[in-house]
Amino acid sequence: MQASLEINGGGELTDRQKDVLNAALRLLVEEGDRLTMTAVARRASCSKETLYKWFGDRDGLLTATVQWQASKVRVAPVDRARIDLPSLKASLEGFASDWLSVISSETSIALNRVAVARAGSDGHGLGAIVLENGRMALARRLKPVLEAARDKGLLAFDDAETAFRSFFGLVARDVQIRLLLGDRLKLTEAEIGRDAALATRQFLALYGADDNRDEGHKHKHPSS
């Protein structure tokens, strides 16, 4: 019950505890929501008693596992000092391909699956965590870039949230829901790059300032 005292943030964890959580994470990817405490204990070569002592109950273990995975993703902030059209374009393409790589990874799919499943029944804590470290974190990182670009006259929009959501939609499209529903969707590195470039061109076509919207709105591809 009081397990969340020792598992704040995800920083104060013993190496052994991190090993256990990594084992739980691997098992979560393999088994999905139907992993058992016994299986986690066996995989991590620890006793169930230890699991319950460290994480309280099954819910605490799942929460700690998701938080542990979330804490592993740390991103360097983008310097909004000098930004021009090529660097903006490169930055957007970077965000897009990063995001596509994340949502198509086995780990992300497994974590989102269990979070979605549990959001239905009782505490939707896992859903909030996944959302906070996924879509919301992306928005927090991307919005300053968008606003800096607007300050430089490269983009034109009223609401950064709306612009971000358009970018999100252009990038993700139907990929995440199809993967979550079990669609066998191959996403090679090259395809991710192409999709990221297309999404960036389309976003610039929609939100670029007038003198920058000279590309990407037709079926004829521009330079790249």
Q: Can you give the binding site for a copy of itself, defined by CB under 8 A?
A: 31-34, 110, 112-117, 119-121, 124, 127-128, 130-131, 135, 156-158, 162, 165-166, 168-174, 176-178, 180-183, 198, 202, 205-206, 210, 213, 217-219
Integer-rounded Cα Rg, in Å, for the chain is 20
Q: Which is nearer to a copy of itself, 17 or 176 (CB)?
A: 176
- Per partner kind, with CB cut-offs from 5 to 8 A, the member of a copy of itself, DNA, none near residue 214 is none
From 39-47, 98-106, 173-181, 199-207, span contacting DNA (CB under 7 A)? 39-47
Q: Which is nearer to DNA, 48 or 178 (CB)?
A: 48
Binding mask 54-83 for DNA (x = CB under 7 A): ---xxx------------------------
Backbone angles phi, psi at 155, to 5 degrees: -120, 160
Instruction: Give how far Cα 136 sits from Cα of 10, 131, 162, Å.
Output: 18, 6, 13
Kindly state whether residue 4 participates in binding DNA, applying the rule CB under 7 A. Answer: no
What b/e sequence results for 99-136 when a residue is b if at least 16 CB atoms lie within 10 Å of its CB, and e otherwise? bbeebbeeebbbbbbbbeebbeeeeebbbebbeebbbe
Kindly state whether residue 48 participates in binding DNA, applying the rule CB under 7 A. Answer: yes
End-to-end CA distance of the chain: 56
Q: How far apart are CA 42 and CA 46, in angstroms?
A: 6
The contact set with DNA (CB under 7 A) reads 14, 16, 34-38, 41, 45-50, 52-53, 57-59
